[in-house]
Chain A
Amino acid sequence: MSEKQEFDSRLQAVLRRVYGEQIALASANRLSGGASQETWLLTLSGTGAPDTLILRRAPEGMEATDDSRAIGLPNEARLIRKAAATGVAVPEVVHVLEPDEGVGEGFIMSRVEGETIARRILRDDEYAKAREHLPAQCGRALAGIHRIDGSDVPRIRESTGLAQVEQYEQTYQEIGVCRPIFDLAIVWLKENAPKPLAPLLVHGDFRLGNIMVDEQGLAAVLDWELAHYGDPREDIGWMCTNSWRFGQSEKRLGGFGDVEPLLEAYAEAGGAEFTPRDIDWWDMLGSMKWGIMCMGMYETFRSGADASVERAAIGRRVSETEMDLVNLLEGQRHA
């Protein structure tokens, strides 16, 4: 038996434990993912089970992702179940993999139909209605996420706004490049940090690309691996960061809408009351973080760890965030 056949056969055994012996695994196709985290589309035959499912897994020995902030797939599954119980639209987790099942670490979830590719969501006619609905839907979803009690989920760390500035400053200084715009942004962020709010569970990567959107709008919140306890304004600011407006700068919220309807829906659904200006600091934090993340990704090329042209090229995207930081700092200067 080939390695893939062995994998499929173990996966089928898992699925039969969940749905019964009458079902079979028709196919398992890898969709995407890096070396440590994979996403697979599973097709099933037989009655009493969905036709398709999604497997998120880390192969054995690869459980520790390269991102130390990540909470790990089993904890992600726990959080998704809690999010569902809080009324947030998420895929249904149907099974969390056990070590003795031999397919690595991860979980199986329902396949939510829709689109994750930002450029399609922002430009295609079929998502025109969705773009209208999304701001308020995102506000309600965030209010739900920020209500989740994750106290019994391990490995969820606390990371406040100011702590993130310091963490990324350290990364920037370790990389050792001289890009004075980042120094200026870091100084400004430190000196103008908002009074911290009581930490809540935040998603940590809430933006287009990580949400499933259908013609009616938000269908599911995905990619929970960066969840942590932090400031609720972080999730709102990240979606407003210009890098995640995918070219549609004039629409502050993700390139599809205004932030006001999000804030309104957020407060109506039980979240705190924020004004658009309360989000400014977090918007700038987002540009600073993404710029330093791009530097870090280029470092994997420079160090020889990843020889791909994509990792080299991302180093030439740092200047996008430098431009955004200059534009935002200029705005603060005249504020």
Chain B
Amino acid sequence: MHDQPSVSELVQAVKNFVDHSAMPELKGRAAFHARVASNVLATILRDLDAREANDGAEYERLKALLPDSDGKTRQALNEELQGRIRSGELTIASAALMEHLKKTAIAQLKVDQPKYSGLATALED
């Protein structure tokens, strides 16, 4: 498939339209939703950039954290992690667990809401 313009370029073009053409013409609830839409387009751009690397890093961490992880998908390992947390086998006492969850949350938040205050708090430590 061709990618000129690429998906990111197309999303950026739509974002430009929302920000510079549509939003100034809108009022009230429609203007609010246009602002939300613009933020969503920015999230999409960050997601497109970061997802592959984030998923890969998360997968590697899960494989290191959980035994017998060979051949299991990232989703399957996350479900296994969930099960071990629910059963009390893995708790906040596990430094490896906490480090994994913190890295996962930071990566997700950098895509979803990079300006959120809790992200700065996490990065301070």
Contact = CB atoms under 8 A, between A and B. Distances in A.
Given A313-B40, A329-B98, 17 more contacts: A178-B79, A242-B117, A242-B118, A247-B116, A247-B117, A308-B33, A309-B36, A316-B113, A317-B112, A319-B113, A320-B109, A320-B113, A323-B105, A323-B121, A323-B122, A326-B102, A330-B102
B82 A313 contact: no
B125 interface: yes
A183 interface: yes
A327 B122 CA distance: 6
Contacts of B112: 316-317, 319-320
A184 B92 contact: yes
Nearest to A308: B33
A210 interface: no
B88 interface: yes
Contacts of B81: 180
Interface of A: 178, 180-181, 183-184, 187-188, 242, 245, 247-249, 308-310, 312-313, 316-317, 319-320, 322-324, 326-327, 329-330, 332-333
B39 interface: yes
Contacts, number: 97
A181 B75 CA distance: 15
A323 B101 CA distance: 9
Contacts of B122: 323, 326-327
Interface string B70-108: 000001001101100110101111000110011011101
A183 B92 contact: no
A183 B82 contact: yes
